[in-house]
A and B are shown apart, each in its own frame.
Chain A
């Protein structure tokens, strides 16, 4: 059984006064297996973010189903949804979304504290993660005191610390310089190698080339997908750019 199954997902936005309807997702189908690193690509307005919001249970689909490890997201009540998100999903955002009132350590602890863990167990969990991400020395600092790359690593630590079933990353390299981007992507690769499932939305071919599989979304549908197979990052990167060119030229499958 797949870890994540997306079936016939459809999302229609209505403008506020009910006039026009905008179809953000038409009919999205795909699955993610456990331990996979999947990138979703598409141009602005292709529905990437809508898709991610629905996967994150931040938004509700108009039709279709999202099933995470046999659990249907649409069947979860509003009350339980926050807990569900906390326990099963980890998030990495483009804008980091660290709280400036917390030190990095407290930012990372936030989901655990909300789940009611005690301080000692949180520290025990943080230690290996912080070591791996190389932020142990920064834990006492506040977000405004560290660089963007360091902030993003703290955000990754926050996503990892709950031991989520899947990490959802929304343009994680979007606000980083190329060096920090490379480091982060390397990190994602390492984390994935340890068995962590990652689903990343991006429009950077470079970022996507680190994934094991790339899905292309166009006009609210999964248009195409390619597997890395045995190819190197460079080769895979080439394949992705080729597909993107094809896509932008409006070619058929």
Chain B
């Protein structure tokens, strides 16, 4: 019976503190199961089920599991040190009752053992149970062979157990050191240590505001995401620092300023709230800042990942308008004329007939393209821009014959010589004339109003260089000027023909069909001296090309959801513990207020307004951060081929709204816990 004394005491310790320990164990279980699921998804067994783009997915899942691993270490350590602190007085009591440090350490050790065992066992159990679901979810998103056989991956189980055992050992050591070091009296009193009134720190407050402002300015003023990725990283770090400073020091300063205003401060509605707030913010500033940052992280992640995923199909359709997409690049401008193109069209036609297939043309666009340095309404092609770092100064100018434009858009516009319809992305073409310069040669176009429509030569914006599309009456007149070989042998202009079609009827595999077409073209053109050696051709089959996009964007979406869930869980736990610890502290305070003549209603109102402010500050901060990060994230998404800002705006707003609703729900639940503590303490 004596042997069972300590285990029983340890178990009692966990049971009596269930309000604190259970959520902690729950978090451990969730993290362990998430970790298992992610390494399960990147294990060879799952990879075998994935489609061709699976490598990307595996990479992303592996990265995701690293994120969870790092986060687990930090977060579980932080939570456990909080738990130990709160239980210090209990240990102090045992100490007074005659237990030595050794016995206390024995209890702590047994408790850690129980917690670890429960967490790992149930973590693995939940992880294995959900891994099949996660696998099906991933396969549903990125495609692949679905089966319904449940697998348990022994290697993953082993790795998960080992990794989390290591974490629990570290946490256990930290607890032992904490208990071993403190004296009886400090154990008994550690949660009652008198607290100094926080001083308002103007320097820190202004510093916080300054850093935040600078970071916001940096984030907004970034023009090019590639060259400024480091700057954005700095901005993110600055925002994090500023959030902590502002929450911890700025909030105290703010309350102190409010207190200086006698009329405002000595008002029944504000008196108690403002002065309690000073302490509350000092104590919880760090926690609130963490919540704000986690919330921002989750929002950025989920909004961009879902934008990327839901925009993928749209992007693929733009990029690959037809099932088969033929691109021919010519070295000479004269090869882009209709007569020569007809020769190519005929090969496609013959190929289609020879293979008993039906095709439907969806795009037939010849265009010329040239890049230069832009300034206002002119572009100079004379510079050697290959070394230019200022990507936003570059202009990609595409020339499209009017006939093609009319055919593509179903319009019937006429242009006089020297007139052009202009469309732009990433820069403005809101001018009367547009001038093209190459050395001493210039060409000026009078611009017609394009009614703010969008039009891309290639149906999508290809890269991040600002793009100007000029629809001109005739292609050759211009190309004569800029298209010639330069003295150094370079050709500035490229001539492209995009020919895209759907294959409505065929017995062939479409990838084979596309490859066969490439061969047919090269085979036929060998006998065509005008073209031979002066063109390159490649065909892209939409589904084949799309697999990589779908795999990478799909797994990003998937990991975005998983990580968001983990982070939100962490934020909820921080909130929950915050409410509990405040509840215990405030219950004494409110008892005093009741005695000196505050009504229950007044107390409840005061609690409510404090909770509300404390709770929604992180949400407001997260919203602000998100708003200022928006332009930059939009540009990063553009790197992934997503240029639809409106769509991103919508996903961001929806993400924020969903998050706000969820957050309010958590607020409601945890403040009930708080009320219970405050009222039961009487």
Known A-B contacts A91-B596, A119-B262; the reply to A99 vs B268 at CB < 8 A is no
CA distance A56 to B597 in the complex (A): 10
The residue that A109 contacts in the complex, of B263, B266, B595, B599, with Cβ under 8 A, is B266
Check: B8 CB closer than 8 A to any chain A CB: no
Is A72 close to B, CB under 8 A? Answer: no
Query: B271–A101 contact, CB under 8 A?
Result: no
Chain A residue contacts of B267, Cβ below 8 A: 113
Determine which residue in A93, A114, A116 has the highest number of CB atoms from chain B within 10 A of its CB, and name it. Answer: A114
The answer on a CB contact under 8 Å between A114 and B592 is no
Contact of B596 among A83, A103, A111 (CB under 8 A): A111
A56 to B595, CA, bound (A): 9
CA distance A124 to B596 in the complex (A): 21
Asked if A142 lies at the interface with its beta carbon under 8 angstroms from chain B, I say yes
Residues of chain A with a CB closer than 8 A to B275's CB: 99, 101-102, 106
Any B CB within 8 A of the CB of A118: yes
Given contacts A110-B271, A110-B596, A113-B271, contact A100 B266 (CB under 8 A): no
In this assembly, does A71 line the interface, its C-beta being within 8 Å of a C-beta of chain B? Answer: no
Give the residues in chain B near A97, CB-CB below 8 Å. 592, 595-596
Pairwise interchain contact B195-A83, C-beta atoms closer than 8 A: no
Cα of A177 to Cα of B278 in the assembled complex, Å: 32
> Which residue from A79, A101, A158 sits with its C-beta under 8 Å from B276?
A101
Residues of A within 8 A of B594 (CB): 58, 82
Q: Which of B267, B268, B592, B602 gathers the greatest number of chain A CB atoms within 10 Å?
A: B592
Query: Residue B487 at the A interface, CB < 8 A?
Result: no
Partner of A99, one of B194, B195, B592, B599: B592
A85-B597 contact given A99-B592, A101-B275, A106-B275, CB 8 Å threshold: yes
Q: Could you tell me the distance in whole angstroms from the C-beta of B287 to the nearest C-beta in chain A? A: 18
Which parts of A78-126 form the interface with B (CB within 8 Å)?
79, 81-83, 85-86, 91, 93, 97-103, 106, 109-111, 113-119, 122
Number of interface residues of A (CB under 8 A): 32
Q: How far is the CA of A30 from the CA of B278 in the complex (A)?
A: 46
The distance from the CB of A77 to the nearest CB of chain B, in whole angstroms, is: 11
Q: Which of B197, B266, B271, B596 has the most CB of A within 10 A?
A: B596
Could you tell me the distance in whole angstroms from the C-beta of B275 to the nearest C-beta in chain A? 5
Given A99-B593, A110-B596, A142-B197, the answer on whether A119 and B266 have CB atoms closer than 8 Å is yes
A99 to B275, CA, bound (A): 10
Q: Given the known inter-chain contacts A106-B275, A111-B597, please indicate yes or no for A144 contacting B268, CB distance below 8 A.
A: no
Of chain B, the residue at the smallest CB distance from A79 is: B599
Min CB–CB distance A68 → chain B (angstroms): 15
Of B263, B597, B598, most buried by chain A (CB within 10 Å of CB) is B597
Cα–Cα distance between A116 and B594 once the two chains are bound (Å)? 17
* A144 pairs with B194, CB closer than 8 A: yes
Which residue of B is nearest A80, CB measured? Answer: B599
A112 to B348, CA, bound (A): 92
Q: Which residues of B contact A142 (CB under 8 A)?
A: 196-197
- Per the 8 Å Cβ criterion, residues 192-229 of B in contact with A are 194-197
Q: For residue A85, which residues in chain B have a CB less than 8 angstroms away from its CB?
A: 597
Contact B589 A99 (CB under 8 A): yes
B599–A122 CB distance below 8 A: no
> Quick one: closest A residue to B276, CB to CB?
A101
| Measured CA separation A83–B592 after assembly (Å) | 15
CB <8 Å contact, B599 and A82: yes
The docked-state distance in angstroms from the alpha carbon of A148 to that of B602 is: 29
Say yes or no: is B279 at the interface (Cβ < 8 Å to chain A).
yes
- Cα–Cα, bound, A223→B213 (Å): 73
Chain B window 573-601, contacts with chain A (Cβ cutoff 8 Å), 1 for yes, 0 for no: 00000000000000001001111111111
Which of B197, B268, B600 meets A113, CB within 8 Å?
A: B268
B589 touching A114, Cβ below 8 Å? no
Encoded as 1 (CB less than 8 Å from any A CB) or 0, chain B from 275 to 287 comes to 1101100000000
The answer to whether A83 and B597 touch across the interface, beta carbons within 8 angstroms, is yes
Q: Which residues of B contact A100 (CB under 8 A)?
A: 194-195, 279, 589
Chain B: which residue is nearest A58 at the CB level?
B595
Chain B residue numbers with a CB within 8 Å of A81 are: 599
Closest chain B CB from A55 CB (angstroms)? 13
In chain A, what residue has the closest Cβ to B271?
A113
**With contact pairs A119-B262, A119-B263 given, residues A114 and B598 touching in the complex (Cβ less than 8 Å):** yes
- A100 — nearest CB in chain B belongs to which residue? B195
Cα-based distance from A117 to B262 in the complex (angstroms): 12
Closest to B591 in A: A97
Chain A, residues 163-191, CB within 8 Å of chain B (1/0): the string is 00000000000000000000000000000
A109–chain B nearest beta-carbon distance, Å: 7
Q: List chain A residues, Cβ under 8 A from B589.
A: 99-101
How distant is the Cα of A115 from the Cα of B278 in the complex, in angstroms? Answer: 23
Closest A residue to B603 using CB positions: A82
Instruction: Tell whether A93 pairs with B595 under 8 Å between CB atoms, given A119-B263, A144-B194.
Output: yes
Please name all residues of chain A whose beta carbon is closer than 8 Å to the beta carbon of B266 when the two chains form the complex.
109, 113, 117-119, 122
| Complex Cα gap A110–B275 (Å) | 11
In the complex formed, the residue of B with least CB distance to A109 is: B266
| Chain A min CB distance to B246 (Å) | 21
A114 touches B602 (CB 8 A): yes
Q: Which of B194, B197, B276, B279 has the most CB of A within 10 A?
A: B197
Report the minimal beta-carbon distance from A180 to chain B, rounded to whole angstroms. Answer: 19
Please measure, in the bound complex, the distance between the C-alpha atom of A30 and the C-alpha atom of B592, giving whole angstroms: 28
The CA of A144 and the CA of B194, in the complex, are separated in Å by: 7
A55 and B285 CA atoms in complex are apart in Å by 42
B597 touches A82 (CB 8 A): yes
Residue interface bits B252-267, CB-to-A below 8 A is 1, else 0: 0000000000110011
- Per the bound structure, the CA–CA distance linking A106 and B265 in Å amounts to 10
Nearest Cβ distance between residue A147 and chain B, in whole angstroms? Answer: 13
Report the minimum CB–CB distance from A142 to chain B (whole Å): 5
Bound complex: CA of A116 vs CA of B275, how far in Å? 17
Q: Which residues in A have their C-beta under 8 angstroms from that of B592?
A: 97-99
Q: Which of B176-206 contact A (CB under 8 A)?
A: 194-197
Q: How long is the Cα–Cα vector from A82 to B599 in the complex, in angstroms?
A: 5
Closest to B267 in A: A113
Nearest-Cβ distance from residue B418 to partner chain A, whole angstroms = 78
B32, chain A: closest CB distance, angstroms: 40
- The interface residues of chain B lying within 8 Å CB-to-CB of A115 are 268
Ordered nearest first, which 9 A-B pairs have the shortest CB separation? Answer: A86-B597, A82-B599, A119-B262, A144-B194, A97-B592, A119-B266, A113-B271, A85-B597, A142-B197
Query: Which residues of A are interface residues toward B (Cβ below 8 A)?
Result: 56, 58, 79, 81-83, 85-86, 91, 93, 97-103, 106, 109-111, 113-119, 122, 142, 144, 158
- Can you show 25 pairs from A to B with CB atoms below 8 A apart? A79-B599, A81-B599, A82-B594, A82-B597, A82-B598, A82-B600, A85-B597, A97-B592, A98-B592, A99-B275, A99-B589, A99-B593, A100-B279, A100-B589, A101-B278, A103-B197, A106-B271, A109-B266, A109-B271, A110-B272, A113-B267, A114-B268, A114-B271, A142-B196, A142-B197
Beyond A91-B595, A113-B267: 17 further Cβ-contacts under 8 Å?
Answer: A79-B601, A82-B598, A82-B600, A83-B599, A97-B595, A97-B596, A99-B589, A100-B279, A110-B596, A114-B271, A114-B596, A114-B598, A116-B268, A119-B266, A122-B266, A144-B195, A144-B196
